[in-house]
Amino acid sequence: MSCVPFVRGYQAVTAALAQTQEQLRDRLLELTPVSDADPRAAAAASVNPQLAALTADDRPGIVDVPEQWLVLVTCRDEKQQVELLERFRREGVECRALVA
């Protein structure tokens, strides 16, 4: 018994299904055109307007933060922390106290 007719039949059915799927996709695109380059983002934005505001390029209040180089010094106690803060301020070093 040969499998060739079965394989050919299967290939024909698969090709027909692929063509049907493509036709369905084309019809859906006709009915619901998508002008946005990213359909998922467009759908999410329409469902959740807050998401659109968060992902907008021109968000108000957001500014570029300049680069900073920081040094964290672990002190023995509060007394040493106060001494170092006073010293650094006298030397013109911008500093602040943190407690963790």
Mean per-residue pLDDT, 33-51: 66
Res 16: pLDDT: 75
Identify the band that residue 82 occupies on the pLDDT scale cut at 50, 70 and 90: very high
**Rounded to a whole number, what is the distance in angstroms from the first to the last CA of the chain?**
80
pLDDT band at residue 28 under the 50/70/90 scheme = confident
Query: pTM to 2 decimals?
Result: 0.37
- Which positions ≥6 away from 34 have C-beta within 8 Å? 42
